[in-house]
A and B are shown apart, each in its own frame.
Chain A
Amino acid sequence: MLSKKLIATRDGFGDEIVELGKENKDIYVVDVDIGKSCKTGKFAHELPQQHVNVGIAEQNGAGVAAGLATCGKIPFVVTYAVFGSLRMGEQIRQEICYPNLNVKIACSHGGLTPANDGASHQGIEDMGVLRSIPNMRVVMPADYYAARALVREAAKIYGPVYLRFTRDAIPVIYDENQKFEIGKAVTLRDGKDAAIIANGDTVRLGIEAAEFLATQGINVRLLDMHTVKPLDVEAVQKCIDECNGRIVVVEDHNIMNGLGSAVCEVVAEAGRGQVKRIGIQDQFGQSAPYESLLAMNGITVKNIVESVKALIK
């Protein structure tokens, strides 16, 4: 059962980055005038020597971070997904990924979660863009604790990492003892009839779908594929081999170039298995309740259940 406790994963980032900053003086936060919204207020207040705010100047922020990284700092540039992928996209490519610098891009407002703000603020293509840049890793945690743990993991490894968080609150799935490793899926449930692979705020939908299917005698494997790149290829291959190659992928991201596409790449090259992608239907969002926006794109428990059944038939 899903916990009733709801917290946005941006809060997980905000809490963890303060801890990290206290432990390591090289951890920096580069804000772009949305620190309040991205939860870096505490960091800015408690660790002013490790904090800088470049104003509403994302491109400058990415470049400043690159410069800091060449001097041994580990900067987290903190913004919204749409700006952290596209507005600073070329700076990320040229000045961060190409020289493989140790910069992390930490973004709130992933997918449809800034529901009220409308399409301009909903980053739906960010992970697809960033996963095509060499050296970049792309991660979306599924809940508050996953966010905390994966932020810590991102700080530990060298090189660029893109972290994507939710603006809106989502259920807590894990507890603080859950271990995470970038590039390794978490198996939330085992089963052999089919597999559901989800990430970020859709993992909770996968849990509900899997629980419902179990009541009907269908046992699915559920993977939290928090890392879109480097993808846990082995885990996908196991789904092909052990779950009859039936895979439903769920994501709060455009249907193109995200997790669904990444899984399809593995399945296609394996030459076995079948994938159903559930995600944003290559259309812009709008201002609406978050759950309605998901429903408009078929990102629902019902659709996951039906898709699994359709594959099994």
Chain B
Amino acid sequence: MKDISVQQLKEHAKELRKTALTMIYEAQSGHPGGAFSSAEITAALYYGEMKIDPKNPKWADRDRFILSKGHACPIQYAALGLLGYFDEHYLHELRKEGSILQGHPDMKKCPGIDISTGSLGQGLSCGVGMALAGKRDGKDYRVFVIIGDGELDEGEIWEAIMAGNAWKLDNLVIFLDNNGLQLDGTTDQVIPHLDVCKKLEAFGYEVYDIDGNDMQQVVDTLNKINASTSGKPKFVNARTVKGKGVSYMENQLAWHGMAPNKEQYEQAMQELERGF
């Protein structure tokens, strides 16, 4: 980790949430729930952990960030915009005609997007490919992939997980944004995943089980991963809350893919400012 305090990282997570919410509000379209549940992970990676250069987004030795659950992209766009990957005015152009900030991440349009996503289940495979290339080329970059718990339903996720073990990709770190909700219901109602930690251990991963909205735990986990010598790929079961930070959105299915009205937006911005 870089020299940055947990408190500072929390402030960044707050900024990311506020920026993402403003984007969704201005676009009147987008997915706030899954964006907010992954705010701490996104902030810790972009501001504390990753070896990146916003002025050189295609730097070959950079760490990679893949939002396999691409619908949550406003949170990543917020980080990219605030870090200077592109001019901040673009942050007001989410889902607008001609914008670099597409409804789902587009690597050809937006600097800092390492792979286009949006169709669930596919980003992790691409991350495995990047991690494999890093190994073959003798590079020391890491690949961080955020997947959704609903996304775990996709068979391709498990195909990719098995490849990560087969090729001993210890440069691969998977964060499961385990917020318990998908689109039609809770993951328990739709397709229960049972004990994902046990599953991933059985699949050959070094597993961490944390509160993914607790910045201290996210930071501690990244430090442990950095110190690890197991040679295994890493899996973090980040137990999170969908819509985290806005009272009326938390754990509410309806806020998976809905934009707030003016009143709701203002209340949400106040609550986010206050913090949790």
Residue ranges of A at the interface with B (Cβ–Cβ < 8 Å): 31, 33-37, 44, 53-57, 59-60, 82-83, 87, 116-121, 286-289, 292
Contacts and interface: CB of A to CB of B under 8 A. Distances in A.
Contact of B95 (A44, A60, A287): A287
A267 to B, nearest CB: 35
B119 A33 contact: no
Contact of B97 (A44, A53, A286): A286
Interface string B24-38: 000101000000000
B187 to A, nearest CB: 8
Q: Label chain B's interface by main secondary structure.
A: loop
B105 to A, nearest CB: 9
Contacts of B190: 33, 53, 55
B266 interface: no
A119 B104 CA distance: 8
Interface stretch (B150-158, B194-202, B216-224): B150-158
20 contacts: A33-B150, A33-B153, A33-B183, A35-B183, A35-B184, A54-B191, A55-B150, A56-B120, A56-B121, A56-B182, A56-B183, A57-B153, A60-B155, A116-B95, A118-B103, A120-B117, A286-B97, A287-B95, A288-B96, A289-B97
A34 B184 contact: yes
Best-buried of B70, B118, B155, B190 by chain A (most CB within 10 Å)? B190
B5 interface: no
A53 B29 CA distance: 26
Interface in B98-126: 98-99, 102-104, 106, 116-121
Interface string B221-239: 0000000000000000000
A118 B183 contact: no
Contacts of A287: 95-97, 99, 102-103
Contacts of B117: 120
A293 B103 CA distance: 14
B119 A120 contact: yes
Contacts of A119: 102, 104, 106
A25 B29 CA distance: 38
A260 B238 CA distance: 49
Contacts of A37: 183, 257
B63 to A, nearest CB: 24
Interface residues of B, number: 30
Contacts of B103: 116-118, 120-121, 287
Contact of A36 (B99, B106, B153, B183): B183
A264 to B, nearest CB: 31
Interface of B: 27, 29, 70, 95-99, 102-104, 106, 116-121, 150-151, 153-155, 182-185, 190-191, 257
Nearest to A286: B102
Best-buried of B102, B103, B150 by chain A (most CB within 10 Å)? B103
A120 B106 CA distance: 9
A37 B97 CA distance: 23
A263 to B, nearest CB: 31
A57 B97 contact: no
Contact of A59 (B97, B98, B155, B185): B155
Contacts of B184: 31, 33-36, 44, 53
A268 B64 CA distance: 51
Nearest to B121: A56
Given A36-B184, A286-B97, A287-B99, 14 more contacts: A34-B183, A35-B183, A55-B150, A57-B155, A87-B119, A116-B27, A116-B95, A117-B104, A118-B104, A118-B106, A118-B118, A120-B103, A120-B104, A120-B118
A227 to B, nearest CB: 28
B71 to A, nearest CB: 9
B151 to A, nearest CB: 6
Contacts of A31: 184
Nearest to B183: A33
B119 to A, nearest CB: 6
Contacts of B95: 116, 118, 287
A59 B102 CA distance: 27
Contact of A55 (B104, B118, B182): B182
A7 to B, nearest CB: 20
Nearest to A40: B184
6 nearest CB pairs, A to B: A120-B118, A55-B153, A55-B191, A118-B103, A288-B97, A287-B95
Best-buried of B27, B95, B184, B191 by chain A (most CB within 10 Å)? B184
B119 A83 contact: yes
B241 to A, nearest CB: 20
A89 to B, nearest CB: 13
Best-buried of B70, B121, B257 by chain A (most CB within 10 Å)? B121
B194 to A, nearest CB: 13
Best-buried of B98, B116, B117, B183 by chain A (most CB within 10 Å)? B183
Contacts of B155: 57, 59-60
